């Protein structure tokens, strides 16, 4: 056991925890607290009372039983790549890190499923699938660190949702340790199972408030052909919608993403990438297809010409190789990391797809009407109606003042989201960051039902309390 930097737990409790996981797997030093006690958000100070590294489902159950008896709050911790402070332990909670539940087993080629411990890293699952001649299609920039349990708990989406759906579409079964330490084995890999409520789907996206996902049976897909990517410059958001409709009517899209000229400028400048073409445009659409050859290539080019004739596209480029497709993707995928140096105000919202252009222009009018010097970087999964709004801090504006103004921005943005019937969190979850705004996209009755469901799974209220809604 390490030095007790935060000795909030009694020696008896610490020793009981050590009996469960082994003394060297009860971490209480400041470095472990900082590492395991927070996600990619940096708004809260991590103060876990201890970080525990269980090595089996039984150990997780034993910890939870002990925590329920003693009324100790728990924060489950996966790859901690979340952006809503869902995996933050800022109130002396016990952190249960699932890193050691990392086995990949029981691959079944007939079912095309594989059993994964919660701590399996997304990229490991992707590589495992590849080794079997298959494909795990939920993909995003943080795939090298995010873990399957966390992906399930946040229903991670990413860049291929338009074609392959979200994490919830790939979970054939899961095991959950509830707030009383019981183990639920949900759906057991069945394709069809209409015997009552699908509790598995309830757990997916619950951000650890109903229990800890300890294992999952993940479905795999046929691998796609080598991808081909088009990047198209468009004059306005309305044109992006026309392009989307035109391509979707005739072809299968693997991805349909967008970014603004400002986003492109930042990525080109800071990542040393080339502009896709010289003609500047207000926005850019990135389309991915499964290999463009023969008739598909002709179709894609005919649509391109049609879009140019209609004035929806000002210029475009098509990848000629997998390497080129990958470098075009970087123009989109590197945006989030590139702009992180401006400590941006972030938001992740959705409306139905067709409403996005009006939504976006209303947000811009309101934000820049009040603060003309705020630079807004738009990008996201436009084919899903999911836009990422990032506002960069002007260099000369003190951080506190920026934060205070961003508080106002949130208020305005969420009022618009509500008017549009949209969601205050399209893919990043609610966590601590969005909970005050939940009523802008969920009714009082819905939130009340969520609380009742939480009580049923977690009567002692120890599972990630204060996330999604107040404890």
Ligand X SMILES: O=C(O)CC[C@@H](O)C(=O)O
Q: Closest-CB residue for ligand X?
A: 336
What is the nearest approach in angstroms of ligand X to the Cβ of residue 183? 32
Query: Which residues 187-226 are close enough to bind ligand X by CB under 6 A?
Result: none
Q: Binding of ligand X at residue 317 (CB under 6 A)?
A: no
Decide whether 93 or 257 has the Cβ nearer to ligand X. 257
Compute how many residues bind ligand X; rule: CB under 6 A.
7
Q: Binding of ligand X at residue 390 (CB under 6 A)?
A: yes
What is the nearest approach in angstroms of ligand X to the Cβ of residue 211? 25
Query: Which residues 356-385 are close enough to bind ligand X by CB under 6 A?
Result: 380
What is the nearest approach in angstroms of ligand X to the Cβ of residue 255? 11
**What is the rounded radius of gyration, in angstroms, for the C-alpha atoms of the chain?**
23
Residue selected from 141, 246, 297, 397 as contacting ligand X according to rule CB under 6 A:
141
Dist. CA 71–CA 178, nearest whole Å: 14
Query: Which residues 411-470 are close enough to bind ligand X by CB under 6 A?
Result: none
Q: Site map for ligand X, 96-135, x if CB under 6 A?
A: ----------------------------------------
Q: Binding of ligand X at residue 388 (CB under 6 A)?
A: yes
Decide whether 428 or 454 has the Cβ nearer to ligand X. 428
Decide whether 160 or 405 has the Cβ nearer to ligand X. 160
Cβ 232 vs Cβ 313: under 8 Å: yes
Decide whether 115 or 346 has the Cβ nearer to ligand X. 346
What is the nearest approach in angstroms of ligand X to the Cβ of residue 141? 5
Decide whether 59 or 333 has the Cβ nearer to ligand X. 333
What is the nearest approach in angstroms of ligand X to the Cβ of residue 271? 14
Q: Site map for ligand X, 332-361, x if CB under 6 A?
A: ----x---------x-x-------------
What is the nearest approach in angstroms of ligand X to the Cβ of residue 202? 24
What is the nearest approach in angstroms of ligand X to the Cβ of residue 177? 28
Decide whether 38 or 388 has the Cβ nearer to ligand X. 388
Burial of 246 from C-beta contacts in 10 A (0-12 / 13-18 / 19+)? middle
Decide whether 74 or 264 has the Cβ nearer to ligand X. 264
Lay out the sheet containing 211-219: strands in order across. 104-108, 113-117, 211-219, 171-178, 183-186
The two three-digit tokens of residue 270, written as one number: 């800071």
What is the nearest approach in angstroms of ligand X to the Cβ of residue 190? 31
Cβ 328 vs Cβ 231: under 8 Å: yes
List residues binding ligand X (CB under 6 A). Answer: 141, 336, 346, 348, 380, 388, 390
């Amino acid at each position: 056991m390490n030095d007790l930097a935060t000795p909030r737990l009694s020696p008896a409790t610490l020793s009981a925890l050590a009996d469960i996981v082994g003394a060297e797997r009860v971490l209480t030093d400041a470095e472990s607290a900082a590492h395991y006690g927070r996600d990619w958000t940096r708004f809260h100070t991590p103060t876990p009372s201890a970080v525990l590294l269980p090595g089996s489902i039984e150990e997780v159950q034993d910890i939870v039983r002990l925590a329920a008896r003693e009324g100790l709050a728990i924060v489950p911790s996966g790859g901690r790549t979340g952006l809503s402070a869902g995996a933050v332990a800022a109130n002396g909670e016990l952190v249960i890190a699932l890193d050691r539940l990392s086995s990949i087993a029981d691959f079944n080629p007939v079912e095309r499923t594989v059993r994964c411990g919660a701590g399996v890293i997304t990229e490991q699952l992707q590589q495992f699938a590849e080794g079997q001649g298959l494909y795990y299609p939920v993909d995003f920039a943080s795939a090298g660190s995010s873990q399957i349990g966390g992906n399930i708990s946040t229903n991670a989406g990413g860049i291929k949702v338009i074609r392959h759906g979200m994490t919830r579409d790939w979970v054939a079964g899961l095991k959950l340790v509830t707030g009383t330490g019981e183990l639920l084995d949900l759906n057991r890999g069945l394709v069809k199972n209409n015997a009552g409520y699908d509790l598995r789907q309830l757990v997916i996206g619950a951000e650890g408030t109903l229990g800890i996902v300890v294992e999952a049976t993940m479905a795999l897909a046929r691998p796609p052909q080598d991808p081909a990517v088009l990047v198209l410059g468009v004059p306005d958001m309305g044109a992006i919608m026309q392009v989307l409709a035109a391509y979707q009517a005739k072809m299968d899209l693997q991805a349909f993403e967008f970014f603004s000229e400002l986003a492109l400028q930042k990525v080109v400048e800071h990542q040393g990438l080339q502009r896709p073409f010289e003609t500047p445009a207000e926005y850019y659409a990135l389309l991915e297809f499964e290999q463009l050859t023969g008739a598909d290539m002709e179709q894609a080019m005919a649509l391109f010409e049609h879009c140019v004739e209609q004035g929806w596209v000002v210029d475009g480029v098509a990848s000629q190789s997998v390497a080129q497709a990958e470098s075009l993707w970087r123009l989109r995928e590197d945006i989030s990391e590139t702009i992180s140096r401006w400590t941006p105000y972030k938001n992740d919202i959705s409306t139905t797809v067709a409403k996005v252009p009006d939504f976006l222009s209303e947000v811009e009018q309101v934000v820049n009407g009040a603060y003309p010097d705020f630079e807004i970087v738009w990008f996201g999964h436009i084919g899903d109606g999911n836009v990422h709004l990032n506002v960069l801090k002007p260099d000369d504006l003190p951080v506190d003042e920026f934060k205070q103004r961003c508080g106002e921005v949130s208020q305005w943005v969420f009022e618009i989201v509500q008017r549009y019937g949209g969601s205050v969190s399209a893919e990043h979850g609610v966590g601590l960051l969005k909970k005050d705004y939940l009523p802008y996209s969920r009714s009082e009755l819905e939130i009340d039902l969520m609380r009742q469901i939480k009580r049923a799974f977690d009567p002692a209220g120890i599972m990630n309390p204060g996330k999604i809604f107040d404890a």
